[in-house]
Structure 1
Amino acid sequence: MTDGTTAGSATDPGSATELGTPAGRYRMLRLIRGFEELALGLVKSGEITGGIHPYIGQEAVAVGVSAALRPQDRITSTHRGHGHVLAKGVDPARMLAELLGRVDGLNAGRGGSMHAADFSLGILGANGMVGAGGAIAVGAAWSAVQAGEDRVAVSYFGDGALNQGVLLESLNLAAMWRLPVLFVCENNGYATTLPASVAVAGSARGRAEAFGIPAVEVDGMDTEAVRAAAAEAVARASAGGGPGFLECRTYRFEGHHTMERLMKLDYRSSEEIADWRTLDPLPRAAALLPPGLAAELDASVAEQLAAAREFALASPAPSADGASDHLYASGLRPRAGAAA
């Protein structure tokens, strides 16, 4: 996979990456929501093949955490990672082209929905393996310490990762070596269709506290609450205080994956979804803005996403001649007949 630095920006995100103000944070919430809605439409039309894991409903986590990060800080993401990478500053036009598998995509169309990376922005990659980002973030934090660099690494994961051995090992190493890592559990209540209430003994916070890691439970539907908790943890980690852990109680309004619409799974009641929709992070963030500003920002985002759609659909599909490119770090191609 390419690292996201090989193509120029197609659209200028402008204030979309300015998360230091309530207006900037609201705009990013709207950008992520609109991006996911646009992607859902392209899945339905067949332009995006294979489907996506929508982030709709969980936007406050990505925006709140990213608002607490510095440019040099790094993140690892998940299969539900569009919001994470957009909040860290990725150009939505190139991200959309990536979902479409086009050459102008963030990773030249080779990463797709679950493997977006941009090293220049500190995005070390989304990951389809549940909990795997924890070990990568710990490695990134360890390397920063060894190099004498002030960098904090963030690992996003869901409640489904709480029982994964690799995540528990990552918590242990981060605590033993007092590494600058922030573990962010996006507890949306379900691992695919399995309720966390019947799968997780104890609590998410308890996992971290068992290793002596300071852990905080926060309203993951409240951008400002997430930002405040993340800022405290990042500051502590940067000052040498070791890792932190946030359990963000959140909810996805859509299914685990777009395939659910075809499978017609019935594991959540309409009443449950409706109750969580009353906590939608976008109206809560809009309420903090002066009258009329949210509507102006909505219009700005709509224009940006329209341009992103046009750019992504106009980007060419990759040529079969380059199918073996990027397989090796040296750039060497496999010997003739090796694939036979």
Structure 2
Amino acid sequence: MNKLKAIYLFLILSFLILNSCTKENNFSETNHPLGISPWELITEIEGVTIDKPFRLHIDEDNVLWVGTFGNGLMKIEGEDITQLTTENSTMPDDVIYAIDSDNNGFVWGGTAKGLFKYKTDLTVYNSTNSDMILNNALCIAVDESNNIWFGNGNSEEGGLMRFNQTANNRQLYTPDNSDIPNGIINDVHISEDGTVWAGLGMVNGLGGIWRKSTDGQEKVYNTDNSNLNYNWITIIKNDASGNIWSGTNAPVYLDEDLHGGIQNLINDDFIDHNPANSGETSNRVTAMEFDCNGNLWVATSVEPTFNLRYQLSVYNGEKWFVLSNKNFPNLYISDIEIDGETVWLAAPDYGLIKISFKCD
């Protein structure tokens, strides 16, 4: 069985490499209504292997940062690449769960063994040298005042931490001192007006979305007090108009109703945009990002009950375009980052994927 599995994986990888080298007309401008070009698989730059890419971030200088699942942090500037690992630096761990950057040029990364910042030197924060209650920092967002917000909790303790660099102090939001329902912080997002949004996991059914406005007011959206349709939130983004969009890890159906997927919040009311409406994807959202045309790129996970595979889709607000059905392989995509007319995809099992398209 192991031999058959190895052969299967070899054939899949060979397919990927062949397609990325020959650049076949996979959803090209002539046959795709969104003008998306062939995709390219990148597994090596200047002799450095791009192995297990997991998290992506593009900073203000258009530098691509890749956090890997076991091979540290990579900085990619064109054909130049720098790699930081536990072997060649003081990196706390080689599994990078989150990346963001501040306006002072520092890149911040989160691991299960500490929070770090990097510019020319590496500084590590953990529970032994800071106010962090735990060592984990599994999601990160930096606001306009350079406050670092990161998840520092689990189902039993902790919550969302705010690190004020200027005053060098930290504040931890927990169920004991705030309205935040639990300490499982799956994603944190800062909207343009400075509002902080946290997407939560579930503890005893409690979860949902926690919001903290710039005036200090807090609010929680969940399935009991709103039409949010699932309390396990995987990711939060905002569109060009500032509207908040949330993705869940919900099953396709719950109590015989189409469930989970993606919702956007308008006037305190959630509107459903389920990927499963395409008939070909699940509602388990692993990554999403808006492009310059306002289209939402969405990666979804498998749904064994309905034989739904990993899919990459683009949603224009009315229709779902499932790219995996146009010679794009069915891959687990853990993150999506868009820089101008370039889409970057982190596919941990295969490599870094690059797709180009045209801005209107």
TM-score when normalising by structure 2: 0.29
More helix by share: 1
